[in-house]
Amino acid sequence: MDPILEMRGITKEFPGVKALDNVNMVVRRGEIRALCGENGAGKSTLMKVLSGVYPHGSYDGEILYNGKPMAFRGIPDSEELGIVIIHQELALVPQMSIAENIFLGNEIATRGVIDRHETNRRTAELLAKVGLRESPETKVGELGMGKQQLVEIAKALSKKVDLLILDEPTSSLNENDSAALLRLLAGFREQGMTAIMISHKLNEISQVCDSITVLRDGATVSHHNGMVPESQIIKDMVGRSMNDRYPPRDPKIGEVVMQVRDWTVADPLREGRMLVDNATFELKRGEVLGIAGLMGAGRTELAMSLFGRSIGDFRKGSATIRGKEVDLATVPKAIKAGLAYVTEDRKSLGLVLEDTIRRNIPLANLKGISTRGVIDRHREGQVARDYRKQINIRSSSVDQVMANLSGGNQQKVVLSKWLFSEPEILILDEPTRGIDVGAKYEIYTIIRDLAAAGKSIIVISSEMPELLGITDRILVMNEGRLVGDMPTAEATQERIMSIIIKSGHNLTEEDITPEEIEAEVAHV
Amino acid sequence: MSDTTETRAGGDTFGFIRRNIREYGILFAFVVIVLFFSIVTNGKLLAPNNITNVFLQNGHIVVMAVGMLLIIVAGHIDLSVGSVSAFVGALAAIMIVKMGLPVLVVVVASLVFGALVGAAQGYWIAYWKIPSFIVTLAGMLVFRGLTYAVLQGQSLGPFPKEFQMISSGFIPDVFGPDKPNTLSLILGWGAALIILWLQVRNRRREETLGIVDEPFAFFAIKNALILFALVWMTWILANFRGLPNIFIVMAILVALYAFISERTTLGRRIFAIGGNAKAAKLSGINSERIVFFTFVNMGMLAALAGLIISARLNSATPKAGVGFELDVIAAVFIGGASMSGGVGTVIGAVVGAFIMGVMNNGMSILGIGIDYQLMIKGLVLLAAVIFDVSNKSKS
């Protein structure tokens, strides 16, 4: 088959770092190519070189598109030729309508006056193509993440697309939305479109991709035409074979540590709707308890509500820790009661990104490094260095700024921060979202080690294999209610899904949007 | 973004300069500006009476800059400080001139009153989440109006000698009237030695822990410069009229607020709130109370500045402090604070204030008109922030 794209000997350097080192990649016309690699392997950099974000001349090597050498000066140049990139972080304006977003910067207008009818008509066509049943005038902020991703794709389609680049398109989608998106991609392939998809999710890659390129440390490690076993891809990515994706378990489960009864939280934005509805459960010493459910099932809301009523309107419910009723009305009280909550959104809720590792770690326990309100900087430095070593935070020093760390290492810092608050009960919300395979394994190991040390841990995750791999018991949540409780040994993905489906009508049409969660956090 | 670099030069001289270019940059800029003006004014800039003048002319700005720094670091702004200082100055004048209350009582009452004004604004900002820009813009108008109202459009003065001493006094020499002023020498040189001792002790501890970042040459040159500047300035001033009272007030406040911002949990929390308010809240930090505190504190410092201005002018006038908020905010930004919060230093803000002060003073000596002075100051502010932004995008 004829190649649509050839990248030859691409080398890109940043001050002090070689991000790409002689990368070669050939993409055939009409295929879906997976681009894999750990965080920091150079995938996004390579795609930025391709799309002209890094202009010609700022890198070495050659790009041949349809057989002709290219010298893009910016994104408009590459888009002109049909190369369109959809970034991992969605670039939509929530306050604007779907139609306005799709034609943003590319408005259908005569002499600067926008033709709204034509805009809406074209938008409706595009929405039909991506299978999104929404009015073109709906505000993007009112849509769930899955639908927003579809709007991004519709926006891409509004241009002439021959080569579509997707950077982790499903990283914030639930399983239904992910599956729909992948079907859509396969449909586009039928129509002759070529796609490059950056993804961490190996099961998705094997579902839709025709071939795989693996990058490691800025260099091409392997090309596979056709599918290869997941273990091979992982081996290529991490540079070593990884037989077990989850650390061994040796649970020593003790007495009940925490009991939650009838925990109920109302939705402040939608009258009469409960975010969490009479949740009752127990957590034992040394136990890793998973909470499974679809996005919007109320798992994050349950966790954040327990953690100082940080979301929604608390209605009723009680919590006891070691048999004693505890007051969890504010975050400081929850911390004092022995709780820690590691948020799913580490960048906007977990970290001070522009600050250093050293100053982020003690933030939830400043008393631990100070005497009468005065910080002991040497103790602070010691604490940071200890955690850096203990849980292997890869950085030049503890004075490195968080924004310069990879996702996995940022997550380790957030974990350190909460470990330093010396909790008995850790709630981890999507602890491995957006981090690579190697770092995931390290996080799993930390979780198991903590359980072995007698801590109790709640893990919320949308990746079911992960829950099955690291927990001891799994709760299933749907529409705010806890609808299932089983030992992990007896759980399977099918069983969990069937519990969810049987427990009521599905909520995917009413996914909570990030803006709503934000509004609820702000509401408290 | 999945591509991030994990390597960064650590420990080497070049990397150190790059990481700390802002802090050294501003000190360097300050030294260059001082040298430039002392040359073009034929040394008049550094004459004893002019150094004294620079302190007297900028005391109120420095006092407010340390408070404004905390506010800006917390992610807010206070536009009302000029009006608040004028208002409190007016109240003080009424209490002293019309009611004849003792100076000490008036000073304490004024500070309390400033804190109340800060609380009245901070309440809406912290607990009702009304944008600080709006609340303090309203405060700027309201308190200016109140100043006109209580003074009935007239200046009020003069003040008794002891009140004027706040601004124009010099510390008395307990060791007799001979020159040099011995107490000034003891205080100035003592402070210099304490600073040096603290720096050396800190570096020793870092050495034992093996975490020294700053190359020794930098450490030595920086401390030698600070030591030299303090010792030399103290000597000059002690041989003139001694250290001005206002200098002592400033030194105490700067040391106190630098300590609060860098070394206390309170300071750390303010930085965390400005850096990421939601993360701070989920870390158990009571953001509302801390933001409220920064405004109470600012009100109090604005009141102190109001007393200083009235004492210096020897009267309270309805137009006192017009535009001061802009000088104060400019000083904080020249000093490296970030508009979006979470970044800034007290020392930077103070140096920023003195950069503006020395430029004002130097240009006045040269007889440069107010028109050019304003333009040059505006460009310096812009240049400092452009330097920040370009520096940040490079790293």
Bridge partners for A420 per DSSP: none
Question: Helix, strand or coil for residue A208?
Answer: helix
Please tell me the predicted confidence (pLDDT) of residue B2: 38
pLDDT (average), residues A316-326: 93
Model confidence band, residue B7 (pLDDT cutoffs 50, 70, 90):
very low
Task: Please judge whether B283 and A14 are an interchain contact, meaning their C-beta atoms are less than 8 angstroms apart.
Answer: no
What percentage of chain B carries pLDDT values higher than 70? 94
Task: Please judge whether B9 and A307 are an interchain contact, meaning their C-beta atoms are less than 8 angstroms apart.
Answer: no
* Token code pair at residue A474: 């799994």
* Token code pair at residue B96: 């002293």
The reply to whether B203 touches chain A by the CB within 8 Å rule is: no
Outline which parts of chain A fall under CATH 3.40.50.300. Answer: 3-238, 244-338+423-524
The reply to whether A379 touches chain B by the CB within 8 Å rule is: no
Burial of B390 (0-12, 13-18, 19+ CB in 10 A): exposed
Please tell me the predicted confidence (pLDDT) of residue A293: 86
Query: Residue A19: is its pLDDT beyond 90?
Result: no
Q: Which of B7, B269, B282 to mutate to test the interface with A (most CBs of A within 10 A)?
A: B282
CB nearest B3 (choices: A45, A370, A382): A45
Please tell me the predicted confidence (pLDDT) of residue B5: 35
Model confidence band, residue A524 (pLDDT cutoffs 50, 70, 90):
very low
Q: DSSP letters of A26-56?
A: EEETT-EEEEE--TTSSHHHHHHHHHTSS-T
Please tell me the predicted confidence (pLDDT) of residue B39: 94
Q: Which of A23, A352, A357, A412 to mutate to test the interface with B (most CBs of B within 10 A)?
A: A352
Task: Please judge whether A363 and B3 are an interchain contact, meaning their C-beta atoms are less than 8 angstroms apart.
Answer: no
Query: Residue B126: is its pLDDT beyond 90?
Result: yes
User: Under CATH, what is the fold of the domain A244-338+423-524?
Assistant: Rossmann fold (3.40.50)
How far is Cα A149 from Cα A465, in angstroms, rounded to an integer?
A: 24
The reply to whether B128 touches chain A by the CB within 8 Å rule is: no
B32-37 contacts, C-beta under 8 A, 24 or more apart: B33/B355, B33/B358, B33/B359, B33/B362, B34/B358, B36/B362, B37/B358, B37/B359, B37/B361, B37/B362, B37/B365
How far is Cα A61 from Cα A58, in angstroms, rounded to an integer?
A: 10
Please tell me the predicted confidence (pLDDT) of residue B339: 87
* Token code pair at residue A364: 């939830």
pLDDT tens sequence across B357-387: 999 999 999 999 989 999 998 999 999 888 8
ω into residue A55 within 30 of 0, thus cis?
Answer: no
Instruction: Check: CB of residue A333 under 8 Å from CB of residue A420.
Output: no
Of the candidate CATH numbers 3.40.50.450, 3.40.228.10, 3.40.50.300, 3.40.50.1390, the domain formed by A3-238 belongs to 3.40.50.300
Please tell me the predicted confidence (pLDDT) of residue A262: 94
Query: Residue A507: is its pLDDT beyond 50?
Result: no
Task: Please judge whether B5 and A308 are an interchain contact, meaning their C-beta atoms are less than 8 angstroms apart.
Answer: no
How far is Cα A157 from Cα A177, in angstroms, rounded to an integer?
A: 19
Query: Residue B313: is its pLDDT beyond 50?
Result: yes
pLDDT (average), residues A26-49: 86
Whole-Å CA distances, A67 to A196, A252, A311: 18, 62, 55
Residue B286 DSSP symbol: -
pLDDT tens sequence across B133-145: 999 999 999 999 9
Higher pLDDT, A256 or A507: A256
Instruction: Check: CB of residue A375 under 8 Å from CB of residue B270.
Output: no
Query: Residue A294: is its pLDDT beyond 90?
Result: no
How far is Cα B212 from Cα B13, in angstroms, rounded to an integer?
A: 12
pLDDT tens sequence across A152-176: 889 988 888 899 999 888 876 777 7
Please tell me the predicted confidence (pLDDT) of residue A240: 58
Task: Please judge whether A366 and B265 are an interchain contact, meaning their C-beta atoms are less than 8 angstroms apart.
Answer: yes
Question: Helix, strand or coil for residue A21?
Answer: strand
Question: Which residue from B325, B349, B324, B327 is spatially nearest to B336, judged by alpha carbons?
Answer: B349
Model confidence band, residue A518 (pLDDT cutoffs 50, 70, 90):
low
What percentage of chain B carries pLDDT values higher than 90? 63
pLDDT tens sequence across B60-79: 999 999 999 999 999 999 99
pLDDT tens sequence across B172-223: 877 777 778 888 889 999 999 999 998 898 888 878 777 677 788 888 888 8
Model confidence band, residue A426 (pLDDT cutoffs 50, 70, 90):
very high
Model confidence band, residue B332 (pLDDT cutoffs 50, 70, 90):
very high
Model confidence band, residue B84 (pLDDT cutoffs 50, 70, 90):
very high
Please tell me the predicted confidence (pLDDT) of residue A243: 57
What percentage of chain A carries pLDDT values higher than 90? 44
Whole-Å CA distances, B224 to A320, B195, B219: 60, 11, 8
CB nearest A44 (choices: B1, B206, B283): B1
Please tell me the predicted confidence (pLDDT) of residue A206: 84
From the DSSP assignment, how many helices (H) and strands (E) are in chain A?
Answer: 17, 24
Bridge partners for A65 per DSSP: A5, A68
Please tell me the predicted confidence (pLDDT) of residue A509: 39
Of A303-307, A345-349, B108-112, the range with the lowest mean pLDDT is: A345-349
Instruction: Check: CB of residue A50 under 8 Å from CB of residue A165.
Output: yes
Query: Residue A97: is its pLDDT beyond 60?
Result: yes
Query: Residue B334: is its pLDDT beyond 80?
Result: yes
The reply to whether B271 touches chain A by the CB within 8 Å rule is: yes
Instruction: Check: CB of residue B344 under 8 Å from CB of residue B331.
Output: no
Q: In terms of DSSP H, where are the helices of B210-244?
A: 216-239
Q: B154: phi > 0 → left, psi -120 to 50 → alpha, else beta; which? A: beta
The reply to whether A259 touches chain B by the CB within 8 Å rule is: no
The reply to whether B268 touches chain A by the CB within 8 Å rule is: yes
Provide the chain A residues 94-123 that lie in CB contact (below 8 A) with chain B: none
* Token code pair at residue A82: 């049909």
Instruction: Check: CB of residue B285 under 8 Å from CB of residue B273.
Output: yes
Instruction: Check: CB of residue B92 under 8 Å from CB of residue B152.
Output: no
How far is Cα B334 from Cα A225, in angstroms, rounded to an integer?
A: 57
Residue A348 DSSP symbol: I
Please tell me the predicted confidence (pLDDT) of residue A510: 44
Please tell me the predicted confidence (pLDDT) of residue A497: 79
Higher pLDDT, B205 or A9: A9
How far is Cα A125 from Cα A154, in angstroms, rounded to an integer?
A: 9
Of A71-80, A338-347, A504-513, B15-24, the range with the lowest mean pLDDT is: A504-513
Average pLDDT over chain A reads 86
CA distance B11 to chain A (A): 10
Q: What's the length of chain B?
A: 395
pLDDT (average), residues A396-418: 88
**A chain contacts of residue B205, beta-carbon cutoff 8 Å:** 378
- Cα angle B80, B81, B84 (rounded to 5 degrees) comes to 85
The reply to whether A45 touches chain B by the CB within 8 Å rule is: yes
Please tell me the predicted confidence (pLDDT) of residue A515: 54
pLDDT tens sequence across A65-88: 999 999 999 888 898 899 998 887
Query: Residue A521: is its pLDDT beyond 60?
Result: no
Alpha-carbon dihedral A458, A462, A468, A473, rounded to 10 degrees: 30
Model confidence band, residue B123 (pLDDT cutoffs 50, 70, 90):
very high
Query: Residue A21: is its pLDDT beyond 80?
Result: yes
Instruction: Check: CB of residue A216 under 8 Å from CB of residue A239.
Output: yes
Model confidence band, residue B394 (pLDDT cutoffs 50, 70, 90):
low
Question: Which residue from B281, B287, B392 is spatially nearest to B338, judged by alpha carbons?
Answer: B392
Please tell me the predicted confidence (pLDDT) of residue A109: 84
Residue A159 DSSP symbol: S
Query: Residue A239: is its pLDDT beyond 80?
Result: no
pLDDT (average), residues A349-372: 92
CA Rg value for chain A? 24
